[in-house]
Amino acid sequence: MDQSKQTGWAAFIVRTRWLWLVLGLAVTVAMGTGLGKLGFNPDARVFFAEENPDRIALDSFEAQFSKDDNLILVMNAKEGGLFEPDILAAIGELTEKAWLLPHVRRVDSLTNFQHTYAIGDEMIVEDLVPDLLAVTPEVAANARKIALSRPELLDVMIDPTGRYGAMQVMFRLPGISPETEVPMIVEETQALAAQFRAEYPEIELRLTGSVMINNQFAVSGQDDGMTLTPMMFGAILLIVLFAFRSVVGVLMTVTVIAMSAVIGLGALGWSGVALNSVTVLAPLIIMTLAVASVVHVLASVRQTMMETPDRKEWARVALAEHGGEIAVACITTAIGFLALNFSISPPFRQLGNVVAVGVMGALFLTLTFLPALIAIIPMKRREALATTDRFMRPIAEFVIGWRKPLLVVMSLLVVALASGIPRLALEDDFVRYFDDRYEFRRDTDYFEQNLGGLNILEYALPAGRSDGINDPQYLASVKEFTDWLRDQPEVTHVRSMTDVIQRLNMNMHADDPAMMKLPETEQAAAQFLFLYELSLGYGMDLTDQINVDRSAMRISVSMAEATTKQMLALDAKAQDWMVENAPQIAVAPTGMSQVFNLIAYRDVRAMLTGTVLALVAISLLLLLILRDVKLGLISLIPNLIPAAMAFGIWGYSVGAVTLAIAVVIAMTLGIVVDDTVHFLSKYKEGKRKGMTPEDAIRYTFSKVGMALFVTTFALVAGFAILSTSGFAVNGDMAKLTALTITLALVADFLLLPALLITIDRRETMKASTPPRTATTTTTTAALGAILALGMLAMPNPASAQSAEAKGLAIVQEAERRDLGWGDFTNDGEMILRDSSGNETRRVWRGMNLERPAQAGEGDWSVIVFSAPRDIDGTATLTQAKIEPSDDDQWLYLPAVKRVKRISSSNRTGKFVGSEFSFEDLGSQEVEDNTYRWLRDEACPGLPSLSCFVIEGYPKNAKSGYSKRISWVDAQEYRQHKTEFYNRRGDLEKTLSATGHEQYLGKYWRPARLDMVNHQTGKSTTLLQSNYAFRTGLSDGDFNAQRLPRLSR
Amino acid sequence: MMAKHVLRSGQGAGAWGLGGLCTALALSTAPAMADEMLGADFAELRGEASVEAILFPDDPLFPGQEDQSLSFAFEPTGILEWNSVEGLGGADVTATIRPFFRVDTQDDARTHADLREAKVDLRFGDTDVTIGNDIVFWGKTEVDQIVDIVNQVDGVEGTDGEDKLGQPMVAVRRIVEAGAFSGQASAFYFPYFRERTFLGTESRLRNGIVVDGNDARYETGAEEWTPSFAARLAGFYGDVDAGLHVFHGLSRDPAFEFTSPTSLRPVYGRITQIGLDAQYTSGATLWKAEAIGRFDQRNLAFEKEDYAAAIAGVEHTLYGIGDSNADLGLIAEYAYDSRGSNALTPFENDAVIGARLALNDTQDSSALFTAAIDTETAETVLRLEAERRLGDSFKLEIVGQAFFNTDEASLFNSLRDDHSLRITLSAFW
């Protein structure tokens, strides 16, 4: 580093101190205005990136069946069990009331269980407790007998003793304002529970389920923010006060670190991403890291003040002597955190980015704003050596004197500790993310101990064809699989439709117990199910068990208190079983638990790249700064072994670790490097001044020893406070980080000096090649172990299939049937008519490219106009995105040969003056709307065809419509008619599609679309012809820069 | 009659235009091509013919100038396309010819012809090759595009510098996809240089001292055959579209030297330019910027000077104003040139504000209003462009332009009485 340049820079900052004071504040305020934009996203699914294959599988599964946003009410009748007449009545009443909770979709309870039996030839389906007002002891006893005999209920809704029962409330969350929906449900449920407890004190009632989990993510996030922040501030104040004995110094520190946090968080606000239970820690991490920078400046000030009373000189010296190292330290820290972008879990990516911005903010403030403050604000001058500085000399002497034993002992210690790494077990269980300080965790444990498990593996067993689930052979396979699963000791409950179907068969045979088996023909199975569905009560349908086209059935396997390892092991067994016994139904499991099961495994692999890149970048930076290959290589040792040792210690002591582990190396790498940078650059400086290695070590300790000690202490204190979080992901991350940083200081103080002296001694004794020491070998071994950990083989998940509500399922089926067309070209013509019938025309050529189903992307299209003639050659390229993202769109103007990116935020504008708005013509993706099936009826204009009538509600507020109603035929899933309702809710336009033709034997396209605007009397006819599919178009044909070439 | 005018104009541009036309004719009549022509997969002949009247309300400043001008323009385009031509490695081939002619009844300088395009495009997968005369646009901003260096300005066509002369070139372009970046890298070789066209003594809207474009001087031995080279990388990454370029060769912007006290001649010298243009699309708001650094360019004082120039601005569109279908775009841009008053461009320290109204009716009616204000001298140019389609194949365009604060020191001093109204009626087929 060029010392004179640094001195000049320092003098410049001090001279223009007022400017920097104002500038620092201005930057903070400017970034800080982003704070107002911060929201909080409590959804547990924030941990799953859109592109996470497990999440894609889960989304697809939930689309076919149902998204299980549920609440479980666990009941315990303290005496005598639940099957007392008054208690059953109370449960019945609670069931009725639960139907009134917000966003309720379905309530399953003991009392409304759909019981089937036969009276003669007739099958009866009715609630287990049909009349809540007349629950006699006989009815109750009968209910008990039935409930305890039914596999659908036993061990999930009722325990074998009849004491513990559960009620399950399913919700359909609109997802419009995630920060209020869940809390609202929880609030109302808790009110309902309180009322129930007051009325029936003899019944114990507890709440759990996925809604409670989500709520818990929000609660613990807020908890962490509220309780940890003041602790953090307190700890920092104490440390700085103790180290420097200066109130002004403390105030300066607090100002700078708070401003840094504001800059980081403000950036998050500006980026429009909501906080979540991980990023809520970002301000605390930023402040902890910022303290380290500030302390270096203050420590230097503390030393300079002994020599001169000139405050400006204090600031100048601090900047000139430490500015470079502080900058390097901050930049390496930022690199480490930026590496978190490789994580598969978005909260960690966001955390990395926010902290990186905050750290760079801290760097800016430490190098400008802080020196300005020091030069401006009077600080009490102390002329005695600081207490902590006095500790440094003995440490230096100890290390120098005992370096050989230290080397041996430290090397052995590193090997011993790192050998604990293989003991680490990746363990992600969203229930056990929260420790038992939370009521949610206690209630959930209670549920799992007495009834079922919240950890559920979902198998959507494919039947291979529509209506295939009625195939006797398929049903037999499913039943065998169900029975096999029930034989597994870790499984508490298996939910399978085969139970119902067997019972229906018995009912249809006059309740003959011998007929408690699967129907023998496909026809019988279909018929029984049909009869059963017809008789089911409101909201009790089978759509969450069987998908819409009846090509798959769902099996839900519950396990209580199962670990990730146990679940993966069970699935491995299940896969073996399926391959051997029923390969046609073999499918990979999904479900929230399964996504969490695999997330750490995926993240460790994903972060491997990030960590290696960060290591390379940071090492190169160090080489550049130290300008010394030998020192650069040596620096790897204290940079890497702390993490290896910390992981090893964790492996021996705790073992189980959450996905937080994946990001720890990258995170800590950037932090621990700081110590190494400060240490090595001062050591090199000492050597340059002609000192012996021993004296250089003494010099280094005296210059930066105290600062390193104080910063490490502050960092460890900060992360130790974070580690008290009741949320295991954050807790693990903080604990591992604190441990790593502590070990880094140990390595820097005890191992690094010994290493440096030993190597430099040998060199002076003409042993020219630096030997490969025991420590380097160990490091390599430890690194290898970490890498190996990441490679741990785990079963590969495959995606599942099917629907949620019928509407969505139909739309998805329509979409599914239109998948795989690849590309097509066609000719388009629009005939625009005003209310008096005057016509004008638009003519174009179109090119369309189907994009593989990737998150957030829609299809690509190019339109080249040929009439009216004055716009001949004008072309547009659209690369569609899923709502609410705007599409990417370019316009080519042939007159000036210009390609221009244009805004596509205008959804409601009219396409070339027609009655089609941009959103009508844009690529319509399933995810753009939410749907509701209304009814089935004859198709408009085609009475022989039956049509689904579906209502769709746009998710994007910019849409011009409040809803669309579409008629889709049940045979080929073609759209025949769509009604568009404007934002006021009035019918605005009707679109009719006619002349459908099928291409490639699969894909239907209408030849003619007529859009009539009822409000204005105008209409537009769109004719599309000359379709050519799979013409070999590629991405390169849809490149904006190529539009001039495409336009002809 | 057109041809006669072309021959009579005798300007460099005209001569090249004719030369190019002959080349194209020779190409198209070559016997080998004749069979192919019959086998073309696509053929089209289209074009535009227009009549243009310019009215000047104030009396002319210089003798020989008139109060109005009437002219006719003709621009046919011929296209032939062959898909997957075996002999050319399966390339898709497009041949385009687009000559341009204008006949002005008052102003001989404006009577001219040019080959805007006469080129063959070859496409091999992700690679495109262009050989011949072509027009290439670079840039992002609205009012002026400082990065747009490939084509020479057709100085007699309009005053806004948006009309360009066809440039002979060999261009190779290749699609570049790297992660989330998608774009195209291009390399250009320009074997021949096009001289700028200048208005004559009888032209309105001309400089006080007439530039004799035919008397151009070159600072390179090869003169107009001095080759130029350029490379460009352009594309987009997320919401950012950007282009980077480097150019080495003859400057399209001439410097001027006096040949007599009343006459200037253009001087063309070799320069190197690097530049960047970028646009960030944020919903309805487009943020735009262009910047160049140019080396060895002679300035207004005829001194070689390295300089930098930049334009930055924003365009925000209000959709569906007042519940109608009309969109209103608001434009604000600022142009800076480090040469200050020695700049060869009027945009050396200027703010431009403007509004673009698009009615989005079936006739595509639209209007653009701009005010360019020099932040130092307060010179102001107001401009209003409005256009509307009539029927299916006609278009009416009206452009009004006025100059203010055009005092003695101003570049626009000689334009102080040249407020104008231009009315163009075009027919398309």
**DSSP codes, B231-298:** EEEEEEETTEEEEEEEEEEE-SS-EEEEEETTEEEEEE-EEEEEEEEEEEEETTEEEEEEEEEEEEEE
Instruction: Collect all residues of chain B within an 8 Å Cβ-Cβ radius of residue A886.
Output: 283
Question: Cβ separation of A1041 and B360 shorter than 8 Å?
Answer: no
> Please, what is the angle between helix A592-626 and helix A661-688, to 10°?
10
| Number of domains comprising chain B | 1
Structure ipTM? 0.89
* Alpha-carbon gap: A832 to the closest alpha carbon of chain B (Å): 8
* Alpha-carbon gap: B137 to the closest alpha carbon of chain A (Å): 6
User: A596 in helix, strand or coil?
Assistant: helix
Residue A689 is given by DSSP the state T
Instruction: Supply angle C-alpha A935, A938, A939, rounded to 5.
Output: 100
Judge contact between A895 and B424, C-beta under 8 A.
no
Instruction: Collect all residues of chain B within an 8 Å Cβ-Cβ radius of residue A909.
Output: 319-320, 325, 327, 360
How many whole angstroms separate alpha carbon A544 and alpha carbon A497? 11
User: Left if phi > 0, otherwise alpha if psi is -120 to 50, otherwise beta: which for A733?
Assistant: alpha
Judge contact between A751 and A638, C-beta under 8 A.
yes
Q: Which amino acid is at A605?
A: R
Q: B interface mutation test: which of A869, A908, A1031 has the most B CBs within 10 A?
A: A869
DSSP-assigned beta bridge partners for residue A310: none
Contacting residues for A338 by C-beta, under 8 A, at least 6 apart: A352, A353, A356, A614
* Alpha-carbon gap: A841 to the closest alpha carbon of chain B (Å): 8
* Alpha-carbon gap: A756 to the closest alpha carbon of chain B (Å): 43
Between B133 and B208, residue with greater pLDDT: B133
Instruction: Collect all residues of chain B within an 8 Å Cβ-Cβ radius of residue A908.
Output: 319-320
How many whole angstroms separate alpha carbon A903 and alpha carbon B328? 13
Contacting residues for A183 by C-beta, under 8 A, at least 6 apart: A42, A215, A218
Do the bridges between strand A823-833 and strand A1019-1029 make them parallel or antiparallel, or are there none, so unpaired?
antiparallel
Cβ atoms within 10 Å, residue A405: 10
User: Left if phi > 0, otherwise alpha if psi is -120 to 50, otherwise beta: which for A262?
Assistant: alpha
* Alpha-carbon gap: B210 to the closest alpha carbon of chain A (Å): 28
How many whole angstroms separate alpha carbon A987 and alpha carbon A983? 10
* Alpha-carbon gap: B310 to the closest alpha carbon of chain A (Å): 19
Question: Cβ separation of A1042 and B429 shorter than 8 Å?
Answer: no
- B27 burial via Cβ count (<10 Å: 0-12, 13-18, 19+): middle
Q: How confident is the model at residue B362 (pLDDT cuts 50, 70, 90)?
A: confident
Residues 388-417 of B with CB under 8 A from A: 389, 392-393, 395
Instruction: Collect all residues of chain B within an 8 Å Cβ-Cβ radius of residue A905.
Output: 283-284, 319
Q: Which amino acid is at A312?
A: K
pLDDT of residue B281: 92
Question: Cβ separation of A906 and B173 shorter than 8 Å?
Answer: no
Q: B97 touching A, CB under 8 A?
A: no
Question: Cβ separation of A1042 and B128 shorter than 8 Å?
Answer: yes
Of B48, B135, B284, the CB nearest to A897: B135
Q: Could you tell me the residue range of the domain that residue B258 belongs to? A: 2-428
Of A870, A906, A1039, the CB nearest to B182: A1039
Buried-exposed string A996-1019: b where 16+ CB fall within 10 A, e elsewhere: beeeeeebbbbeebbbbbeeeebb
Beta strands in A30-119 (DSSP E): 69-77, 104-108, 114-119
Residues of chain A with pLDDT under 50: 1-2, 766-804
How many whole angstroms separate alpha carbon A953 and alpha carbon A983? 11
Judge contact between A668 and A740, C-beta under 8 A.
yes
Residue A158 is given by DSSP the state B
> For the residues of B138-157, what is the DSSP string, one character each?
----SS--TT--SSPB-TTT
Question: Cβ separation of B284 and A903 shorter than 8 Å?
Answer: yes
Among A1038, A1042, A907, A1048, residue whose Cα is nearest residue A964: A907
CA A631, distance to chain mean position in Å, is 40
Question: Cβ separation of A909 and B360 shorter than 8 Å?
Answer: yes
Instruction: Supply angle C-alpha A443, A446, A449, rounded to 5.
Output: 155
DSSP-assigned beta bridge partners for residue B402: B382
Q: B interface mutation test: which of A872, A899, A1041, A1045 has the most B CBs within 10 A?
A: A1041
Tokens representing A110? Answer: 């003991």
Percent of chain B's residues with pLDDT above 90: 53
Instruction: Collect all residues of chain A within an 8 Å Cβ-Cβ radius of residue B393.
Output: 868-870
Cα A351 to Cα A291, A340, A346, B355, distances in angstroms? 18, 8, 8, 42
Q: Edge-to-edge strands of the sheet including A491-495?
A: A455-462, A552-559, A491-495
Question: Cβ separation of B319 and A906 shorter than 8 Å?
Answer: yes
Kindly tell me if the per-residue pLDDT of B5 is higher than 70: no
Beta strands in A43-160 (DSSP E): 69-77, 104-108, 114-119, 122-127
Q: How many CB pairs under 8 A join A and B?
A: 108
Could you tell me the CATH number of the domain that includes residue B365? Answer: 2.40.160.10
Of A868, A901, A1035, the CB nearest to B279: A901
Question: Cβ separation of A1041 and B234 shorter than 8 Å?
Answer: yes
**Which residue in chain A has the smallest CA separation from B97?**
A1048
**Which residue in chain B has the smallest CA separation from A885?**
B283
* Alpha-carbon gap: B429 to the closest alpha carbon of chain A (Å): 6
Contacting residues for B56 by C-beta, under 8 A, at least 6 apart: B66, B67, B68, B204, B417, B418, B419, B420
Question: Cβ separation of B428 and A1039 shorter than 8 Å?
Answer: no
Among A712, A711, A3, A15, residue whose Cα is nearest residue A371: A15
Judge contact between A687 and A693, C-beta under 8 A.
yes
pLDDT of residue B176: 92
Judge contact between A440 and A71, C-beta under 8 A.
no
Question: Cβ separation of A1039 and B175 shorter than 8 Å?
Answer: yes
Judge contact between A882 and A857, C-beta under 8 A.
yes
The three-state DSSP-derived secondary structure of A513-553 is HHHCCCCCCHHHHHHHHHHHHHHCCCCCCCCCCECCCCCEE
**Which residue in chain A has the smallest CA separation from B241?**
A901
Cβ atoms within 10 Å, residue A380: 10
User: B336 in helix, strand or coil?
Assistant: strand
Long-range contacts of A153-158 (CB under 8 A, 24+ apart): A153/A110, A153/A113, A154/A493, A155/A451, A155/A452, A155/A492, A155/A493, A156/A451, A156/A452, A156/A492, A156/A493, A156/A495, A156/A558, A157/A108, A157/A109, A157/A110, A157/A113, A157/A451, A158/A82, A158/A110, A158/A451
Of B183, B361, B429, the CB nearest to A1041: B183
Judge contact between A744 and A712, C-beta under 8 A.
yes
The tens digit of pLDDT for each residue in B141-189 reads 988 889 999 999 998 987 777 899 999 999 999 999 888 899 999 999 9
The tens digit of pLDDT for each residue in A191-224 reads 999 999 998 888 888 998 888 888 888 888 777 7
Judge contact between A779 and A633, C-beta under 8 A.
no
Of B175, B362, B363, the CB nearest to A1036: B175
Residues 863-922 of A with CB under 8 A from B: 867-872, 886, 888, 896-903, 905-906, 908-910, 912-913
Residues 357-396 of A with CB under 8 A from B: none
Question: Cβ separation of A909 and B320 shorter than 8 Å?
Answer: yes
Residue A544 backbone dihedrals phi, psi, to 5 degrees: -90, 0
Judge contact between B357 and B367, C-beta under 8 A.
yes
Radius of gyration of chain B from its Cα atoms, rounded to whole angstroms? 22
CA dihedral A150, A156, A160, A163 (to 10 degrees): -120
State the average pLDDT over residues B358-386. 90
Tokens representing B30? Answer: 């070559």
* Alpha-carbon gap: B348 to the closest alpha carbon of chain A (Å): 24
Judge contact between A284 and A232, C-beta under 8 A.
yes
How many whole angstroms separate alpha carbon A438 and alpha carbon A221? 12
* Alpha-carbon gap: A912 to the closest alpha carbon of chain B (Å): 7
- B429 burial via Cβ count (<10 Å: 0-12, 13-18, 19+): exposed
**Which residue in chain A has the smallest CA separation from B234?**
A1041
The three-state DSSP-derived secondary structure of A838-875 is CEEEEEEEEEEECCCCCCCEEEEEEEEEEECHHHCCCE
**Which residue in chain A has the smallest CA separation from B327?**
A909
> What integer best gives the mean pLDDT of chain B?
86
pLDDT of residue B232: 96
Q: How confident is the model at residue B370 (pLDDT cuts 50, 70, 90)?
A: very high
Among positive and negative, which fits the CA dihedral A234, A236, A238, A241? Answer: negative
Q: B327 touching A, CB under 8 A?
A: yes
Q: Which domains does chain A have, with CATH numbers?
A: 1-61+225-384 (1.20.1640.10), 68-208 (3.30.70), 391-428+599-793 (1.20.1640.10), 446-575 (no CATH), 806-1047 (2.50.20.10)
Instruction: Collect all residues of chain B within an 8 Å Cβ-Cβ radius of residue A870.
Output: 48, 364, 389, 393, 395, 426, 428
Cα A455 to Cα A445, A498, A571, A710, distances in angstroms? 12, 22, 13, 45
Q: B94 touching A, CB under 8 A?
A: yes
Of A898, A909, A1040, the CB nearest to B325: A909
The tens digit of pLDDT for each residue in B278-331 reads 999 988 899 999 999 999 999 988 999 999 999 999 999 988 887 788 899 999
Of B126, B137, B428, the CB nearest to A897: B137
Q: A834 touching B, CB under 8 A?
A: yes
Question: Cβ separation of B46 and A872 shorter than 8 Å?
Answer: yes
**Which residue in chain B has the smallest CA separation from A895?**
B163
Alpha helices by DSSP H, A161-209: 178-199
User: A974 in helix, strand or coil?
Assistant: coil
pLDDT of residue A386: 60
Cα A286 to Cα A272, A337, A594, distances in angstroms? 19, 11, 33
User: A364 in helix, strand or coil?
Assistant: helix
How many whole angstroms separate alpha carbon B53 and alpha carbon B71? 7
Question: Cβ separation of B44 and A905 shorter than 8 Å?
Answer: no
Tokens representing A811? Answer: 């739309």
Instruction: Collect all residues of chain B within an 8 Å Cβ-Cβ radius of residue A834.
Output: 362
